[in-house]
Amino acid sequence: MATPLEQWVEEAARLTRPQRITWCDGSEDEAAQMQEEMLREGRTLRLNSKTYPNCILHRSNPNDVARTEKVTFICTRDRESAGPTNNWMAPAEAKEKLTALFAGAMKDRTMYVVPYVMGPAASPQSRVGVEITDSPYVVASMRIMTRMGKAAMERLGGSADFVPGLHSLGDLNPERRYIVHFQEEKTIWSIGSGYGGNALLGKKCFALRIASWMAREQGWMAEHMLILGLEAPSGKVTYMAAAFPSACGKTNLAMMVSALQDQGYRVWTIGDDIAWMQIGADGYLRAINPEAGFFGVAPGTNAHTNPNVMAAIKKNTIFTNTAMTANQEPWWEGMDATPPPGLVDWQGRAWSASNGPAAQPNSRYTVPARQSPCISPRFEDPAGVPISAFIFGGRRARLAPLVFESFSWQHGVYIGATMASETTAAATGAVGVTRRDPMAMLPFCGYNMADYFRHWLEMGRRVPHPPKIFHVNWFRKGADGKFLWPGYGENVRVLKWILERVEGTGGAAETPIGLVPSQNALTTDGLNVSRGTIEELLRVDSSDWSREHEEAGEFFERFGDRLPEEIRGEHARLGERLHHVAAAKD
Ligand code: GTP
Ligand code: SPV
Ligand code: MN
């Protein structure tokens, strides 16, 4: 008898009509074949085999360079289950619309069946997915980003316990591009894009949109969070998870080379984008990274900002939409001061400033996590790591101080729920527009965000040792339009204060929005930032925050009665604290 997986593959083949079907095992031979296939297709080049062995450069269709939130849908029977922040389509309508697009879509193409595990192969927190795709680039990427092939088949056996994801490039016409999630069925259909989170279905589609739904049903958390371990001089490692919106610094924080290394503080990486967390037997939230690789933003990465990544990407790496030097090496803005002579841009043209940036602003590297010099020895730990702090953050040129701490779990959930950030090139649409992005999950929460806030509040009541909650902003700018804070490896100074707060030693001063480091509580030795700038970085302007408070209130109105009472309460209390300060000034 056919297994549930075999039945689904057969059904997909009947619909998409591929020329042949290949079951992927994740072997080296298969990876080499996939590269050959990509090179034949003509959008992929081999890079310098001496300086970048086994590395390739892939150029995606110029109309397909980032996630497309407009055509991403959450399909639930009831519209309210998806909530006001998601695009919704009725499941039957979505099935009908996409069935027409998938019909015959793989004609003359190979259908690849890609079984994968999200999470360490031996962890009870891990889950199996299977992606069907007609893109060898997707197969090659999934091999890096997940535990793909044999390990997944062994875990799955003949069972039906997997998340099916059907993907086809279709005709790559943006008019016929859809990324659709059937939440009740825990199934994903994606057509018309070969890029990133649109096409690597284990990532945002499964590990966040479907998994957040599963997590609420089953009492765990699936978050858009990096996971890092901060090692103190004593050798003790404290784990933290941080949620920043897309292209707002997760990979860089998770992989930083600490500026306080000579004082004994260093950072170990568990994950750079997604965290799955369950309540452990020890009463702590235990986090695993469901991914096995990093799909990181290339521009801005260099030997100073992120030497760990620069070391990791020297082999076995896929570069997508970066530029290429005359020497067949990858290049992007921010790697060196000026473009080298003979540079070819991301579309394969001789570089010219009049054509815009040489590397697409959302160009990326796809690299096995194990290649990173800072990978944590507990990267594969099946029990996950205990989380002591949650850190929210965004890109705010104004308003948000460098760091502040919540007064309580509930207040921390409120801080996450009111997060806002300037949009980036990680998704199509305008860049630099400030929008509400609760917990950095606006594009990824697979259900009504009001219910998601409720789930967070509920988890806080259930976890015996809940993490303390903080908010950071590396992106505050001065009157000259320049960043006030040097960022990157210097961010460890903020992590150190967070660690001291967790341990109950760090000094803090109260403001209406939360606790900021008291004078001298932030370690500044060796830091080339003036006292005045530090003060400006930590300044909380009550009148600016009153405006922010009003905007958050308008955002919450979208959820109507579904918004949890506790959030309403926190909102009112912040209003009172701000009012109090304003009254004291008069
Ligand atoms: P996704 O993969 O899209 O989820 O992004 P991410 O959150 O992992 O962001 P990433 O670390 O890749 O950083 C995105 C961009 O912000 C890059 O161009 C970085 O160079 C830049 N960046 C990261 N950290 C800092 C920082 O501390 N300060 C400044 N000024 N820029 C930063
Ligand atoms: C993000 O946009 O948050 C990413 C990149 O991590 S993608 O995989 O394309 O979603
Ligand atoms: Mn991300």
Q: How far apart are CA 171 and CA 175, in angstroms?
A: 10
**Residue owning the nearest CA to atom 5 of ligand 1:** 247
Closest CA to ligand 1's atom 21: 249
238 residue type, one letter: T
* Dihedral class, residue 439 (left if φ above 0, else alpha if ψ from -120 to 50, else beta): left
CB 257 within 8 A of CB 489: yes
CA atoms within 13 A on the CB side of 101: 26
- At 245-271, the pLDDT tens digits run 999 999 999 999 999 999 999 999 999
Q: How close is the Cα of 392 to the center of ligand 1, in Å?
A: 14
pLDDT for 585: 79
Ligand nearest to the CA of 248: 1
pLDDT at 240: 98
Strands 187-191 and 163-168: parallel
Residue 586: is its pLDDT beyond 80? no
CA gap 329, 207 in Å, rounded: 32
- Of all atoms in ligand 2, which is nearest to the CA of residue 198? 9
Residue 536 carries which side chain, given as an amino acid letter?
E
Cα–Cα nearest to 134, from 105, 165, 111, 166 = 111
Q: What is the pLDDT of residue 426?
A: 94
Per DSSP bridges, beta strands 110-118 and 285-288 are unpaired
Instruction: Decide if 269 contacts 237 (C-beta within 8 A).
Output: no
Question: For residue 162, what pLDDT is reported?
Answer: 98
Active site residues: 248
Ligand 1, closest atom to CA 300? 20
CB 327 within 8 A of CB 51: yes
Residue 432 φ then ψ, to 5°: 90, 10
Mean pLDDT of all residues in 428-443: 96
Reported as a single tens digit per residue, the pLDDT across 473-516 is: 999 999 999 999 999 999 999 999 999 999 999 999 999 999 99
User: Which ligand minimizes its atom distance to the CA of 204?
Assistant: 2
CA-to-CA distance for 323 and 472, rounded, in angstroms?
Answer: 32
Tens of pLDDT along 182-212? 999 999 999 999 999 999 999 999 999 999 9
Position in ligand 2 atom list of the atom nearest CA 273:
6
Residue nearest ligand 2's atom 10 by CA: 197
d(CA 146, CA 138): 11
pLDDT tens-digit readout, 53-66: 999 999 999 999 99
- 222 has which bridge partners? 276
Model pTM score: 0.98
Of 251, 291, 396, 475, the one to substitute when testing ligand 1's pocket (max ligand atoms within 8 A of C-beta) is: 251
Q: Confidence class of residue 584 from pLDDT cuts 50, 70 and 90? A: confident
- Which residue out of 244, 248, 258, 491 has the highest number of ligand 1 atoms within 8 Å of its CB and is therefore the one to mutate? 248
- For residue 581, name the pLDDT band (cuts at 50, 70, 90): confident
Q: How far is the CA of 261 from the centre of ligand 2 (A)?
A: 30
CA nearest neighbour of 463 among 287, 291, 236: 287
Judge contact between 529 and 486, C-beta under 8 A. yes
Answer whether 299's CB lies under 8 Å from 334's CB: yes
**Helix residue ranges, H only, 103-239:** 136-145, 150-156, 196-199, 211-218
How far is the C-alpha of 315 from the C-alpha of 53, rounded, in Å?
Answer: 5
Model confidence band, residue 546 (pLDDT cutoffs 50, 70, 90):
very high
- Ligand 3 centroid, distance to 29 Cα (angstroms): 30
Q: What is the pLDDT of residues 230-252, one digit of tens each?
A: 999 999 999 999 999 999 999 99
User: Candidates 295, 321, 423: which one to mutate for ligand 2, based on the most atoms within 8 Å of Cβ?
Assistant: 295
CA end-to-end distance (rounded Å), the chain: 79
Q: State which amino acid sits at residue 39.
A: L
SS3 of 584, please?
helix
What residues line ligand 1, using a CB cutoff of 6 Å?
244, 246-252, 272-273, 296-297, 299-301, 305, 426, 474, 483, 487-488, 491
Share of the chain above pLDDT 90, in %: 98
Q: What are the tokens at 549?
A: 């408070």
- Mean pLDDT, the chain, as a whole number? 97
Q: What are the beta bridge partners of residue 290?
A: none
Which residue CA neighbors atom 4 of ligand 1 most closely?
246
Report how far ligand 3's centroid is from the alpha carbon of 9 (Å): 29
> Do 34 and 139 contact (CB within 8 A), yes or no?
yes
CA quadruple 438, 441, 447, 452: dihedral, nearest 10: -50
Axis crossing angle, helix 28-41 with helix 136-145, rounded to the nearest 10:
140
Centroid of ligand 1 to alpha carbon of 409 (angstroms): 27
Closest CA to 310 of 247, 353, 373: 373
Average of per-residue pLDDT across 430-453: 97
Ligand 3 center from residue 225 Cα (angstroms):
8
For residue 245, the ligand 2 atom closest to its alpha carbon is 3
- Atom of ligand 1 at shortest distance to CA of 252? 11
Contact assessment for residue 438 and residue 412, using Cβ atoms and an 8 Å cutoff: no
pLDDT digits (tens, 9 = 90+) for 376-394: 999 999 999 999 999 999 9
**Residue 244: what residue type?**
F
Tell how far the Cα of 161 is from the centroid of ligand 2, in angstroms: 26
Note the pLDDT of residue 582.
Answer: 82
